[in-house]
C-alpha cells in the first residue's frame, strides 16, 4: 500500500467524495431526474459516514451468540440509524419520482430552467399579475427572458 494512504483516509475520502459528487451533480445537472439521482449519491455518502462512525477494528457484527464473555463488537447504534436513514431516503426518492412523472406529463419537459419558468408563468397567471422581477427568489439564478402576455396565457392555461 502506498504510504500515507491508510484505510481510514480511503474510507473517509469515499464518503466525502460521494457527498461532493452528489452536490456537484446537484449544481451541474439540468435534468431534474439527474438531480434526484445526485441526491441519492450524496445520501449514500452521508450514510457511509454514519456507518464509519461506529466501525471498529477486529470486531464482529453485534449479534450475541453465547452468554457470558462476548467478543468485541462494532457499535450497533449507527447501524440502526443507517437503517432508518436508508428507509427515509427510499420514501423520499419514490415521492420525488412520482412528482417527476406528473411534471413530465403536464409540461413535457424535465429541464430545470424551463420547468421553473413555466411554473413562474403559471403562478403569475393564477395570481392575476404580470410576470415581474420580484418573482426571482432571493438567490435564484433563473435566466428570465421577457415573456409576453399571450405566452403567459398559453402556458398558464395548460394546467
For residue 15, how far is the Cα from the chain centroid?
15
Q: How far is the CB of 154 from other proteins (least distance, A)?
A: 13
| 147 touches other proteins by CB under 8 A | no
Q: Return the SS3 of 30.
A: coil
List, in sequence order, every residue forming a beta bridge with 73; answer none if it has no partner. Answer: 60
Site for other proteins in 11-70 (CB under 8 A): 11-13, 15-17, 19-24, 26-28, 32, 35-36, 39, 42-43, 45-47, 49-50, 52-57, 61-67, 70
Other residues' Cβ atoms within 10 Å of the Cβ of residue 3: 5
Question: Binders of other proteins: how many residues, by CB under 8 A?
Answer: 97
Site residues (CB under 8 A) for other proteins, limited to 85-144: 85, 87-88, 90-92, 94-107, 115-116, 118-119, 122-124, 126-130, 132-141
Binding mask 65-84 for other proteins (x = CB under 8 A): xxx--x--x-xxxxxxx-xx
Q: Are the beta carbons of 124 and 155 closer than 8 angstroms? A: no
Burial tier of 135 (Cβ tally within 10 Å: 0-12, 13-18, 19+): middle
Shortest distance (Å) from residue 114 CB to other proteins: 10
Amino acid at each position: 500500500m502506498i504510504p500515507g494512504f491508510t484505510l481510514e483516509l480511503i474510507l473517509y475520502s469515499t464518503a466525502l467524495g460521494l457527498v461532493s459528487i452528489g452536490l456537484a451533480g446537484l449544481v451541474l445537472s439540468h435534468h431534474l431526474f439527474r438531480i434526484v439521482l445526485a441526491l441519492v449519491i450524496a445520501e449514500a455518502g452521508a450514510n457511509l459516514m454514519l456507518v464509519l462512525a461506529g466501525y471498529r477494528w477486529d470486531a464482529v457484527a453485534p449479534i450475541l451468540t453465547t452468554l457470558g464473555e462476548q467478543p468485541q463488537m462494532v457499535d450497533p447504534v449507527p447501524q440502526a440509524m443507517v437503517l432508518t436513514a436508508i428507509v427515509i431516503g427510499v420514501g423520499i426518492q419514490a415521492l420525488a419520482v412520482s412528482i417527476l412523472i406528473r411534471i413530465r406529463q403536464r409540461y413535457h419537459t424535465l429541464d430545470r430552467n424551463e420547468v421553473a419558468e413555466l411554473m413562474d408563468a403559471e403562478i403569475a397567471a393564477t395570481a392575476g399579475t404580470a410576470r415581474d422581477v420580484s418573482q426571482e427568489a432571493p438567490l435564484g439564478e433563473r435566466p428570465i427572458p421577457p415573456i409576453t402576455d399571450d405566452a403567459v396565457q398559453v402556458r398558464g392555461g395548460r394546467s
